[in-house]
Amino acid sequence: MATPPDTLTLVAVAALWGALAGAFLPRPAYRLSVPVEQADQGWYDSCPAGHPVRGWLGRGGCGGCTPPGASYASGALLLPTVTAVLCAALAAATGTRPELAVWLLLAPAGVLLAVVDVRVQRLPDPLTLPLAATALALLGVTALLPEHAGRWTTALLGSLALAAGHLLLHLINPAGLAFGDVKLALATGAVLGWYGWPTLMLGTLAAFVLGALYGLALTVAGRAARRTTVPFGPFMLTGAFTGVLIGAYAA
């Protein structure tokens, strides 16, 4: 069956939005990639050469370095590409329903969180907590609009339930699941809960399965031991993305 022209246009616009938003992520990804032992610092205020970094959005070019404009932040091509692909997929699955605007606004923040966690195994509070609050607020507004396909009540309950479950796992094994993952669960639980409890369970299961497979692959390859810490945030976000895609398509 051929894809309707309106859907192709929507997907193209979403991909363009993702590419543009992703182009602004290298600088905040660099500034927020502060190692755990330096977490009290909050974020980087200077480039690796010591020149001040002003502003939060951009590709990470430093006017004080030689040559002028030399980049201190990686991902100038990868981040826009990944964000564009994610946004295009969300548009294809969600269609013209109003929650698509929420997914497109949250997707760049999710990419940013995943990058920071991969780099320094840390999920900064300035990202996780506002992301959860923003997701619930935007979904609350979306629930007032016609033709939406989710429920805000379930999003709220899903946020609290998933965070509570992750908190329990954190208390049982703090080394296996960091407290930053608990705070991220507030956001992933909200977006998954929007499409109902089956979607929440599917996205959560996907996160743990992907994380386990990755850890197993590292162990088999000799690159990790049993107690090696693996950043779980990217798998939580991938699970949330998978669940939202399936939930949106099935709605």
Beta strand 61-62 with 70-71 is: antiparallel
Give the structural domain span for 148.
97-250
- Buried b / exposed e across 204-218, counting CB within 10 Å, b at 16+? bebbeebbeebbeee
| Residue 1 in domain | no
| Residue 30 in domain | no
| Residue 115 in domain | yes
Place of tokens 């509070």: 125
pLDDT of residue 2: 44
| Residue 123 in domain | yes
| Residue 91 in domain | no
| Residue 184 in domain | yes
3-state secondary structure the chain: CCCCHHHHHHHHHHHHHHHHHHHCCHHHHHHHCCCHHHHHHCCCCECCCCCECCCCCCCCEECCCCCCCEECCCCCCHHHHHHHHHHHHHHHHHCCCCHHHHHHHHHHHHHHHHHHHHHHCCCCHHHHHHHHHHHHHHHHHHCCCCCCCCCHHHHHHHHHHHHHHHHHHHHHCCCCCCHHHHHHHHHHHHHHHCCCHHHHHHHHHHHHHHHHHHHHHHHHCCCCCCCCCCCCHHHHHHHHHHHHHHHHHHC
β-pair partners for 62: 70
| Residue 62 in domain | no
What's the number of domains the chain is made of?
Answer: 1
pLDDT of residue 226: 62
| Residue 168 in domain | yes
Q: pTM for this structure?
A: 0.94
| pLDDT per 10-residue tile (average), the chain, 251 residues | 72 98 96 88 89 88 79 90 98 96 98 96 94 98 97 98 97 91 98 98 97 88 72 96 97 88
- Buried b / exposed e across 148-161, counting CB within 10 Å, b at 16+? bbbbbebbbbbbeb
